[in-house]
Structure 1
Amino acid sequence: MDLKLSRLDYFTLQVLVGLYELKNGTCLAVKLDVAQPKVSRALSTIREVFNDEMFVRKQYGFEPNELAIRIYPFAKKVIDGYQQIQLAAQNNCEQKRIVNIATLDYNTNLLHRSVVAVSKKLALNTVVNIIPWSDEIQKQITSGKVDYSITINPVENDKIMSAKIADVKKFYIVARKGHPIFEKTFGYSDLISNSFVLINYARVGLKKRAIEHYVEKHGGTMDIVLKTNSLNNALSFVSSNDCICISATETVLEHVVGRDDLQYQDTSEFWATHVMADLAPAVRQHSQYLQGRVEGDIVFFNELVLAMRDGLVKLQKCLSAINQQDSLSSIEEHH
C-alpha cells in the first residue's frame, strides 16, 4: 500500500503529534500560532495519507485511535529531530556573526584587528566581510546591506550614527625605491615637476583632493596620471615607474613598510605649514568616521570605535619605532 508519506511535512507532523497530546484542535492552533482551518487541512492530509480516521471527534475534542497511538512515538521522534536541527542551525548562526563593513583597502588590517579584539571582548565568533566602499554607502547602511563603514567627512544623516575615529594628520609620498624625490625635502616645485597617483579616499561625492586645490591656487598644474580607490593598485603602479603616490593616514604605511621595491617619506610638516594652512577651513580638515545604522548594535559599534582608536595609537607607536630605526641605520651608513 502506497501511503504517500512525502505529504507528511513538518507542520503536518506537528498537527499529528499535537492532536495526540492536546486532543483539541483549537488549543493546538493557538499553540502553533496558526488559524484553525490550517489545522483542519493538516488533519485531512493525515487521514488521506494513512487512509484512516486517525483521530475520532468527541464532544470536547479528539481521541486518537489505535493506528494513531502506534504512529505517535515515531512521529514524535521525527519532530524532536527537526527541533534538534533547528537548534543546531540557530546556535551556528549565533556563534558565527557576520559583520559587513565597507572600507577601502588601506584600512583593512587595522579594521580586522579591531573587530577581532571587540569580538573577543564580547565573546562573539565574528566573520568579517569586507565590502568595497562606494559613493552610495549611506544608502547601503540604511537599507541594512552594510553594517558599518569607514568614511572621510561623512554627510549627516539622521538614520546613521557616526563617531570620529581620528583626524587625518599624517601625509606621505610613496615611490619606487631609489627615486630621486627622496634625495631632497619635498616642496611645491616637486608637485608641478612630477607625475602623481592619487587615492580616492572614502569621501561621499567626487571631490578634488586638498593638494589639487593648493596647486591650482598657486597657478600650477599637477600631472595626475591615475586616480584609484585601491591602494594596492596605486602601489603596484608606482613601483614600476617614476610616478609618485600621495597618501594619507598611518594605515597606508602598513602596506608599504617591509616592501623592498618601495620607499616613503613623511611630508606631514609640508602639508600642515603649506597645503592645509593655505586652504579654506571647509577643505582643510579631514577626519575618519565609523558609521552604522541607528537601529544597529550600539554596543558593538561603540566598542569598535574604541578598538580602532586604540589600534591606531598602537600603529603610530610601531611606525615611529620603525622610523627611528631607519634613521639610525641611515646615519650608520653615512659614517
Structure 2
Amino acid sequence: MKNKLLHLDLLTLSVFVKLVEEKHGLTVARQLGLSQSKVSRCVKQLKEAFKDELFHRSGDGLIPSSVAMDLYEHAKIIVSQQLTMQDKINTSSCKSLHLKVLANEHFYNAFMKATEEVSRKQKINLSVEFLSWDQDSTSKVSQREVDIEICPGPRDSSSIVSFPFATSVEPFFIVARSNHPIFTRPFTMKRLFEYPFVLTRHPKEEKSKNNLGMYIQKNNLSIVSCSISPSIKFTMDRVKSSDAIGLFGNLFAYQECQNIEGVQALDITDTFVPIAWPNPSDKPESISLHCRKAGPVALTEALSLSLMKQFQTMQREYWGPNPENRRQVNRNLQTPPKLGVIPN
C-alpha cells in the first residue's frame, strides 16, 4: 500500500474529497473541470491504494464506506495544505497578481480604491477583473473560479473564510427622477407598486424577494413591471427617462448614486426592512469579502480593512457621528448631508 499511496497525486485526493462531500461523480467532474472517465480512473486508483471499495451506490448517490470516512479528514487536510502552499508560492513569488472578483457594480470603485492602497503598502501590482452574478456565483469561490466574492453575511462553507468590512446592509432607499410623484406624498410600500421599478441584483436575495411576493399577494397588489440588474448605469438610465423607481441597499450603492444629476433619493429603511425580513434574524447584518482558506487570505484581509475605513467614513457622512440616529431622509443626491449633521 505504501508504494501505491506515493503515487496518489493532489488531483486524485481532491477527487476523493469531493466525492465524499458531493456524492455524485458528475458533480465532482464539473466542479474540478474533469471528464467523467478521469474521475472514474481516480476512483480506481483510490480503491487499489486503500484496498477498499470506498463508496457504494444508493438512491442518494455515492455513500462513503467507513474506511472512506476515516480517510476523509486526513485527505481533506492534505488537499487544503497543498492548495494553501501553492497559493502562497504564487503570491510571494510574483510582483503582480490578477484577482477575479464577484461583486455588484456599486462595489467596484470602493474595491479599486482598496486595491490601490494595498498595492502601495505591499509593493505589489494588483489587477482586478470584476465578474457579474449568475445562479452559480456562490459556488465559484470554493471551485477556484474566482478569488474573492463580495456579498452580505458569512458563507456556509468550511473552505471559505470571510472578512466583514461593513457592519450594516442599510440604508435601503429608492431613487427616482427629481419631479417624480412618489415624492409628493408620504411614502408607503403600496405606493411603490404603482410604478415600474428596478431592483439591483445581489446574493441572498431570495428570502427577501419571497417575502415581498407574499406582501404583494396579501395586499392584492400587482407589479406594473420589474427589472433586475446589477448595473447602476442601467438602473439610472431607466429611472431618469421614465416613471420607474430604483430600489437600492447599502451605503456603497448610495455613494455611487450621489454624482448622478436629475434624481432624488428617499430612505425607506424603516418601511422596507419589516416587510422584506419579517424575521429580523434573517436580515444580513454585514457585508464581507469571502475567499478560499487556500486562497489569498492575507491579501483579502488587507483589502477588507481598507474597505472598512471607507465604510466608516460613509457612515459618518450619512448618519452623522452616531449611526443609531437614523431617520428617514428625502434629499437630492447632489447635496449629501454635511459631516456630522443628521438629515431632516
The TM-score normalised by the length of structure 2 is: 0.60
Q: Matched residues in 2 for 1:109 and 1:192: separation?
A: 31
Q: Matched residues in 2 for 1:250 and 1:114: separation?
A: 16
Q: Matched residues in 1 for 2:207 and 2:232: separation?
A: 17
For the residue of structure 1 that corresponds to 2:227, the secondary structure is: strand
For the pair 1:195 / 2:191, whether they are aligned, the reply is no
Q: Matched residues in 1 for 2:210 and 2:318: separation?
A: 25
Instruction: Tell me, yes or no, if the aligned pair for 2:177 and 2:263 is still in contact at 8 Å.
Output: yes
Which of the pair has more CA radius of gyration?
A: 1
Instruction: Tell me, yes or no, if the aligned pair for 1:103 and 1:131 is still in contact at 8 Å.
Output: yes
**Alpha carbons of structure 1 residues 206 and 230: separation in structure 2 relative to 1, 3 Å:** farther
Q: Matched residues in 2 for 1:132 and 1:188: separation?
A: 29
- How far has the Cα of 1:302 moved from its partner? 1.5
- How far has the Cα of 1:181 moved from its partner? 1.2
- How far has the Cα of 1:295 moved from its partner? 0.5
Residue correspondence of structure 1 range 156-171 to structure 2 within 5 A: 156-166=156-166, 167-171=168-172
- How far has the Cα of 1:236 moved from its partner? 1.2
Aligned position for 2:149: 149
Aligned position for 2:115: 115
Q: Matched residues in 2 for 1:303 and 1:264: separation?
A: 33
- How far has the Cα of 1:266 moved from its partner? 1.6
Residue correspondence of structure 1 range 82-97 to structure 2 within 5 A: 94-97=94-97
For the residue of structure 1 that corresponds to 2:264, the secondary structure is: strand
Aligned position for 2:60: none
For the residue of structure 2 that corresponds to 1:208, the secondary structure is: helix
For residues 33-80 of structure 1, the C-alpha deviation after alignment (integer angstroms, 9 at most, x for no partner) is: xxxxxxxxxxxxxxxxxxxxxxxxxxxxxxxxxxxxxxxxxxxxxxxx
For 2:288, the aligned partner's letter is: Y
For 1:148, the aligned partner's letter is: I
- How far has the Cα of 1:210 moved from its partner? 4.9
The TM-score normalised by the length of structure 1 is: 0.62
Aligned position for 2:182: 181
For 1:226, the aligned partner's letter is: S
Q: Matched residues in 1 for 2:301 and 2:225: separation?
A: 39
More helix per residue: 1
For residues 228-253 of structure 1, the C-alpha deviation after alignment (integer angstroms, 9 at most, x for no partner) is: 22222111111100011111111112
- How far has the Cα of 1:100 moved from its partner? 1.6
For 1:323, the aligned partner's letter is: P
Q: Matched residues in 2 for 1:318 and 1:127: separation?
A: 30
Q: Matched residues in 2 for 1:139 and 1:94: separation?
A: 27
Aligned position for 1:46: none
For 2:158, the aligned partner's letter is: D
Aligned position for 2:260: 259
For 2:246, the aligned partner's letter is: C
For the residue of structure 1 that corresponds to 2:312, the secondary structure is: helix
For 1:288, the aligned partner's letter is: I
For 1:221, the aligned partner's letter is: S
Instruction: Tell me, yes or no, if the aligned pair for 2:155 and 2:290 is still in contact at 8 Å.
Output: no
- How far has the Cα of 1:174 moved from its partner? 0.5
For 1:162, the aligned partner's letter is: S
For 1:194, the aligned partner's letter is: Y
Identity of aligned residues (%): 20
**Alpha carbons of structure 1 residues 114 and 211: separation in structure 2 relative to 1, 3 Å:** farther
Moved more, 209-218 or 140-149: 209-218
RMSD: 3.2
- How far has the Cα of 1:162 moved from its partner? 1.8
Q: Matched residues in 2 for 1:320 and 1:207: separation?
A: 25
For the residue of structure 1 that corresponds to 2:209, the secondary structure is: coil
- Structure 1's unaligned 5+ residue stretches are 1-89
**Alpha carbons of structure 1 residues 115 and 161: separation in structure 2 relative to 1, 3 Å:** same
Instruction: Tell me, yes or no, if the aligned pair for 1:155 and 1:204 is still in contact at 8 Å.
Output: no
Q: Matched residues in 1 for 2:240 and 2:210: separation?
A: 22
For 2:188, the aligned partner's letter is: G
- How far has the Cα of 1:103 moved from its partner? 0.6
Instruction: Tell me, yes or no, if the aligned pair for 2:104 and 2:201 is still in contact at 8 Å.
Output: no
Aligned position for 1:224: 225
Residue correspondence of structure 1 range 291-302 to structure 2 within 5 A: 291-302=290-301
Aligned position for 1:316: 315
For 2:236, the aligned partner's letter is: L
- How far has the Cα of 1:290 moved from its partner? 1.3
Instruction: Tell me, yes or no, if the aligned pair for 1:103 and 1:202 is still in contact at 8 Å.
Output: no
- How far has the Cα of 1:150 moved from its partner? 0.7
Instruction: Tell me, yes or no, if the aligned pair for 1:174 and 1:245 is still in contact at 8 Å.
Output: yes
**Alpha carbons of structure 1 residues 232 and 286: separation in structure 2 relative to 1, 3 Å:** farther
Query: How many aligned residue pairs are there?
Result: 238
**Alpha carbons of structure 1 residues 124 and 237: separation in structure 2 relative to 1, 3 Å:** same
For the residue of structure 1 that corresponds to 2:337, the secondary structure is: helix
Aligned position for 1:129: 129
For the residue of structure 2 that corresponds to 1:223, the secondary structure is: coil
